[in-house]
Amino acid sequence: MTGTASSTANTFASLPEIEFWFDFGSNYSYLSVMRIDAQAEAHGVRILWRPFLLGPVFRDLGFDNSPFVLQEKKGAYVWRDMERQCRKYGLALTRPTVFPRAALLAMRVALLGADQPWMAPYCRKIMQLNFADDRDIGSAEVVKEALDELGLSAQQIIADAQNEANKLRLREQTSMAAGKGIFGAPTFFVGGEMFWGNDRLDDALEYCALAAPRG
């Protein structure tokens, strides 16, 4: 590593950190995934990507499906709200024909790539496929397509994502989410301070930037 590259890496590692807990099947996570990278950079904040499975968390809370499905009036409101929010952020939206859509392989790949430079574009691509293109992001074909479009070694990444150690890590990370008191997605943590929902992303980033120690 050159001196310049080493200095850049050290600077990045020293940035204040925000934990971003999300699930690809979560509609409000879509809004945050699509904008958090640019917003974090603008605030001088480093993202710690924390993919987890929202389904088991809901089951622990006594729900056998998303509250947006179980409660008809809330579901109707949420999709109208999604239309407004997507217009606000300039995002495409096609209500998925399956919701919430299972995306186990895509989540395992995200866990594998959480510290990789391709993480943010990969997550945006998967979210676009789900909420803009209504594609089955639970299928290996679609996940491979997303990785191929990013110029990545799709076959190797998928194989690594499917190994037993990585499967166990995702289960453990999901248990960790429940242990931290997470009850929905997206959720953000700055230290021990929790912020829930896409509408709290800006607050979380500002809190993170202001809470950082000054040299």
| Nearest-angstrom CA–CA distance, 85 and 79 | 10
Confidence of residue 53 (pLDDT cuts 50, 70, 90): very high
Residue 74 has a pLDDT of 83
- Enumerate the domain spans of the chain: 16-211
Predicted TM-score (pTM) of this structure: 0.90
User: What is the per-residue pLDDT for 60?
Assistant: 86
What CATH number is given for 16-211 in this structure?
3.40.30.10
The pLDDT of residue 39: 97
- ∠ CA 136-142-147 to the nearest 5 degrees? 140
pLDDT per position as a tens digit, 138-172: 999 999 999 999 999 999 999 999 999 999 999 99
26 flagged as catalytic: yes
Q: Which of 6, 14, 26, 29 is catalytic?
A: 26
Distance between CA 137 and CA 130 in Å, rounded? 6
Q: What is the pLDDT of residues 91-130, one digit of tens each?
A: 999 999 999 999 999 999 999 999 999 999 999 999 999 9
Give me the pLDDT at residue 65, please: 61
Closest alpha carbon to 190 in 26, 14, 67, 17: 17
